[in-house]
Amino acid sequence: MADDITRVDGYLAGSDDRRADELNGLIADPDVRAILLARGGYGILRILDRLDAGALRADPKPIVGFSDATALLFWALAAAGLRGIHGPVVAQLGDLPVGDTTWLVDLLEGRGQGRIIEGLRPTGAVRRGRVEGPLIGGNLTLLSHMVGTPWAADVAGAVLFIEDQGERPYAIDRYLTRMALGGALRGAGAALVGSFTRCEERVNLPQPDAAAVVDERLRAFDVAGLAGAPFGHGDENQALPFGGRAALDFDRGAVELLDPAVG
């Protein structure tokens, strides 16, 4: 552990150079077999262009995180061709159901095929049957900010998964609309919607809630989805293999993971 781990630089945990150097050191260290982020917040976008994709390709290791780590997962996939894990950060582990942490360990150990999440509800455009594609997504705010960067993933044919926290409904509308206008929803095979925690409107006026906004925007962009998946900032955060294939069954209201996270 670094001896200056509590260093603060404004609202960041140290300067960009210091944080990038530490992460690059973990990527290059042959004794480090996985990188599990401690928490979310903000700052990864600032260091993406300083990270060593060649070192990650030479010594592949899964990166685990969500929220701000969405940017890092996109970078690893685009720059190094490495699938990561959209899953709990260290600060969450003590508050999650035991099954969520057990499932994360299963994914880290290469077990992932065949897991089924049921009890989901339809959202967006009407669709029947089954859609398969790679799981691409994460925090909606970060997804919208990745549009136009070198690390924005191609969602054509993908299962786009989204979640967020603390964003008002109109902001959720803005992010999805921005993605669509930037071509980031073009050709998406389907959407998987997780938790939108503390995303209520703060003024006492009749307005749609977050779920209604997501439903309306997905319908407007002709994307069918399933909502209520247990991932994100809520009480559950079940890990997903970022870039691994999944199948959405609209008739059954379920998603099946087809690929392991490590590989």
Could you give the CA distance from residue 228 to residue 218 in angstroms, rounded to a whole number? 15
Mean pLDDT of the chain: 94
The total number of structural domains in the chain stands at 1
In a domain, 42, yes or no: yes
Note every long-range contact of 21-28, with CB atoms under 8 Å and residues 24 or more positions apart, other chains counting: 23/47, 23/51, 24/50, 24/51, 24/52, 24/55, 27/51, 27/52, 27/55, 27/56, 27/59, 27/61, 28/52, 28/55, 28/59
DSSP conformational letter for 38: S
Catalytic residue numbers read 67, 163, 233
Q: What are the two backbone dihedrals, phi and then psi, of residue 163, each rounded to the nearest 5 degrees?
A: -155, 165
Domain that holds residue 98: 16-257
Task: Note whether residue 11 is domain-resident.
Answer: no
CATH number of residue 231's parent domain: 3.50.30.60
Per the domain annotation, does 75 fall within a domain?
A: yes
Q: Within a domain: residue 3?
A: no
pLDDT of residue 2: 64
Q: Looking at the domain assignment, is residue 100 inside a domain?
A: yes
Least confident of 38-42, 115-119, 190-194: 38-42
When pLDDT is averaged across residues 7-16 and rounded to a whole number, the result is 84
pLDDT band at 110; cut points 50, 70, 90: confident
Q: Which runs of E-coded beta strand occur in 106-170? A: 116-117, 121-124, 130-139, 159-165
Count Cα atoms within 13 angstroms, Cβ side, for 147. 19
Residue type present at position 219: R
pTM of the model as a whole: 0.95
- On whether residue 8 sits in a domain, the answer given is no
